[in-house]
A and B are shown apart, each in its own frame.
Chain A
Amino acid sequence: MINRPSNAPLSHPYWQLVPGIVLGTGLIGLVLLGLGSLLVTAGHLDFSVVWSSRYLRGVVTFTLWQAVLSVLLSLLVAVPVALALARFHDFTGRALLLRLMELSLVLPTIVAVSGIIGVYGRQGWLTTMVSEWFPHHGWNLYGVNGILLAHVFFNAPLAARILLQTLEAVPAPRLRIASQLGLRGWWLWRTVHWPAMRPILPGLAALVFTLCFTSFAIIMTLGGGPATTTLEVAIYQALRFEFDFAQAALLAVIQLVICGSLWWLAFQKQMPTSLMPGRRFSNPITLRYSVSQRCLGAVLLWVFFVFLTLPLFAIILRGAPALVPLNGIPALYFQLLPATGRSLLIAIPAGLGAVLGALLTLAATHKSSGKMLSAIPVTAGYLPLVVPPLVLGTGLFLLLRPGLGNTAQGWALVSFINGLMALPFVIQVLRGPLAELDDNSRRLADQLGVLGWYRWRWLYWPRMRRPIALGLAYGTALSMGDFGVIALFGSPGQPTLPVLMYQQLSSYRVADAAGTGLWLLGLLMLIFVVLSAISRPAIRTQRVTASPSVVEPEHA
Chain B
Amino acid sequence: MLELDQLSFRYPGQTTGWQFGFSVAPGHCVAVHGASGTGKSTVLNLIAGFLEPDSGAIRLAGQAIQNLSPWERPVSSVFQEHNLFEHLDVATNIGLGLHSGLKLTSDQRQMIAQSLDRAGLAGFGYRMPAELSGGQRQRIALLRAILRRKPVLLLDEPMTGLDPDAKHNLRTMLLEEKARGAILVLASHDEEDRKVLADQVWNL
Q: A and B from one assembly?
A: yes
A8, B100: Cβ atoms closer than 8 Å:
yes
Name the B residues within 8 Å of A457 (CB-CB).
101
B85, A459: Cβ atoms closer than 8 Å:
yes
B26 interface hit (Cβ, 8 Å): no
A326 interface hit (Cβ, 8 Å): no
Name the B residues within 8 Å of A441 (CB-CB).
82, 85
Main secondary structure of the interface of B (DSSP, over half): loop
Cβ-closest chain B residue relative to A541: B87
Known contacts: A2-B67, A446-B50. The answer to whether A542 contacts B82 by CB under 8 A is no
A1, B50: Cβ atoms closer than 8 Å:
no
A543 interface hit (Cβ, 8 Å): yes
Name the B residues within 8 Å of A454 (CB-CB).
100-102
B70, A447: Cβ atoms closer than 8 Å:
yes
A140 interface hit (Cβ, 8 Å): no
A4, B69: Cβ atoms closer than 8 Å:
yes
B92 interface hit (Cβ, 8 Å): yes
B142 interface hit (Cβ, 8 Å): no
B115 interface hit (Cβ, 8 Å): no
B48, A447: Cβ atoms closer than 8 Å:
yes
Count residues on chain B whose CB falls below 8 Å from chain A CBs.
Answer: 35
Flag B78-91 by CB within 8 Å of A: 1 or 0 each.
01011101111100
Interface size class of A (residues with CB under 8 A): 20 to 34
B70, A540: Cβ atoms closer than 8 Å:
no
Name the B residues within 8 Å of A541 (CB-CB).
86-87, 128
Taking the closest CB of chain B, its distance from the CB of A165, in whole angstroms, is 25
Partner of A447, one of B67, B77, B101, B129: B77
B49 interface hit (Cβ, 8 Å): yes
Taking the closest CB of chain B, its distance from the CB of A544, in whole angstroms, is 10
- Report the bound CA distance from A443 to B82 in whole Å: 11
Flag B59-84 by CB within 8 Å of A: 1 or 0 each.
00000000111111101110101110
Known contacts: A441-B82, A448-B100, A458-B96. The answer to whether A543 contacts B130 by CB under 8 A is yes
Name the A residues within 8 Å of B72 (CB-CB).
4, 6, 449
Name the A residues within 8 Å of B177 (CB-CB).
none
B56 interface hit (Cβ, 8 Å): no
A329 interface hit (Cβ, 8 Å): no
A448, B71: Cβ atoms closer than 8 Å:
yes
Taking the closest CB of chain B, its distance from the CB of A423, in whole angstroms, is 27
Taking the closest CB of chain B, its distance from the CB of A455, in whole angstroms, is 8
B134 interface hit (Cβ, 8 Å): no
Question: Which of B71, B92, B128 neighbours the largest number of chain A CB atoms within 10 Å of its CB?
Answer: B71
Partner of B79, one of A1, A440, A446: A440
A462 interface hit (Cβ, 8 Å): yes
B5 interface hit (Cβ, 8 Å): no
Taking the closest CB of chain A, its distance from the CB of B132, in whole angstroms, is 10
Taking the closest CB of chain B, its distance from the CB of A467, in whole angstroms, is 13
B131 interface hit (Cβ, 8 Å): yes
Cβ-closest chain A residue relative to B148: A448
A458, B102: Cβ atoms closer than 8 Å:
yes
Flag B34-58 by CB within 8 Å of A: 1 or 0 each.
0000000000010011101000000
Taking the closest CB of chain B, its distance from the CB of A83, in whole angstroms, is 36
Partner of B100, one of A3, A438, A449, A543: A449
Give the top 10 A-B pairs by smallest Cβ distance, nearest first: A542-B130, A449-B71, A446-B70, A440-B82, A449-B100, A454-B101, A450-B100, A542-B128, A462-B87, A447-B70
Residue positions of B touching A, CB distance < 8 A = 45, 48-50, 52, 67-73, 75-77, 79, 81-83, 85-89, 92, 96-97, 100-102, 128-131, 148
Q: List 30 A-B contacts (CB under 8 A).
A: A1-B52, A2-B67, A2-B68, A4-B68, A6-B69, A6-B100, A7-B100, A8-B100, A8-B101, A9-B101, A440-B82, A443-B45, A443-B70, A444-B82, A444-B83, A446-B71, A447-B75, A447-B77, A449-B71, A450-B100, A453-B101, A454-B101, A458-B85, A458-B92, A458-B102, A539-B89, A540-B128, A542-B130, A543-B87, A545-B87
